[in-house]
Amino acid sequence: MPRTVLIVDDERDANDILASLVKARDFTPIQLYSGRQVIPAVHEHAPDLVLLDLMLPDLDGFAVCDQLKRNRDTNLIPVIMVTALSDASHRAAGVRVGANGYLTKPFTPAQLFDVVDEAVKWRIERETHGTTGEINFDIRSESTHLQQANDMLADLYAHTPLTERQIKDLKQVVMEMGSNAIEWGHRKNADLVLRITYRIDPDKVVLIISDQGPGFNPGDIPHAASDEDPIGHLELRNDLGLREGGFGIMLAKGLVDEFRYNEKGNEVTLMKRFVKKD
């Protein structure tokens, strides 16, 4: 069965160049010239990949990508943004709407093939492991950015079988664990990137919060509450001059169905199962 690529670029020369390049990798190109053509074409052709320009005459590429990634039927179609917009703010905006790659014009064929291969590999991995969708948010280590990401995640939860109570729990957990990563993992260094991965499986939602810090031993946190002694840490926090708190990890564990840190201690995986209907 032939692999298909939607190429969305209103500049016909650029569109034709992309079409000729993907043909060399045994893809069948479907050429589009406006943003509003994308959703109908996706439903008609079920493409393996979308190469998407950002500056389109009607609906910009960010809005198109956002529509694709918020829909569970199209969430796993990799989207690569191919654009002349190269500044960091546009790249960050691409991350926020779930783009799988960002290729700046002009580019070499090798650069295009690299991002295409990575995107295809990502889709195969998700399908192999039974995941029906995944989005990564890379944000600055600031509470305002964390809140914005959490709001976008809440919008995504609305498209799942999660109950309102489960959504409320996940929103609280993300703020607790994200704030811990910013405060302790990154020591409030706003330039370090916090990554939140949102993964939809057939029976659950998985969230992975990763920081760039050195990590820690989750089993040895004397200044944090423990299940055995929920308030014993308060005296130590007072002696150390720390703000009141230390309940985040214990609270988060009680609000999700699975909670685990990686071996290094700079990544936490949170899982919430969908409520089975009778």
81 and 178 in a common domain: no
Which among 101, 128, 155 is the end of a domain? 128
At residue 244, does pLDDT exceed 80?
no
- pLDDT, tens digit, for every residue of 123-174? 887 777 666 677 888 888 999 999 988 988 888 887 788 999 999 999 999 9
* The pairing of beta strand 3-8 with beta strand 49-52: parallel
pLDDT of residue 134: 79
88 and 18 in a common domain: yes
263 and 137 in a common domain: yes
100 and 137 in a common domain: no
192 and 155 in a common domain: yes
- pLDDT, tens digit, for every residue of 85-132? 888 777 777 777 788 889 999 999 999 999 999 999 988 877 776 666
Q: What is the CA radius of gyration of the chain?
A: 21
pLDDT winner (highest mean) among 1-10, 130-139, 243-252? 1-10
73 and 52 in a common domain: yes
162 and 112 in a common domain: no
189 and 120 in a common domain: no
Which among 103, 128, 153 is the end of a domain? 128
The three-class DSSP label of residue 253 is helix
139 and 45 in a common domain: no
For the residues of 68-87, what is the DSSP string, one character each?
HHHSTTTTTS-EEEEES--S
Spatial contact of 220 and 159, defined as CB atoms under 8 Å apart: no
Tell me how crowded residue 135 is: count the other CB atoms within 10 A of its CB: 21
CATH of the domain at 250: 3.30.565.10
142 and 116 in a common domain: no
What domain range is 193 assigned to? 133-273
110 and 167 in a common domain: no
pLDDT of residue 232: 59
The dihedral through the CA atoms of 201, 174, 268, 80 has a sign that is positive
- pLDDT, tens digit, for every residue of 38-92? 999 999 999 999 999 999 999 999 999 989 987 878 988 999 999 998 887 777 7
Please indicate, yes or no, if residue 20 is contained in any of the structural domains: yes
Please indicate, yes or no, if residue 63 is contained in any of the structural domains: yes
pLDDT of residue 211: 93
- pLDDT, tens digit, for every residue of 188-228? 898 888 999 998 888 999 999 999 999 888 776 666 546 66
How far apart are alpha carbons 54 and 150 in whole angstroms?
25
Which among 105, 128, 151 is the end of a domain? 128
Spatial contact of 166 and 235, defined as CB atoms under 8 Å apart: no
How many independent structural domains does the chain possess? 2
207 and 147 in a common domain: yes
Please indicate, yes or no, if residue 278 is contained in any of the structural domains: no
Spatial contact of 270 and 278, defined as CB atoms under 8 Å apart: no
Structure token digits, residue 3: 């692999």
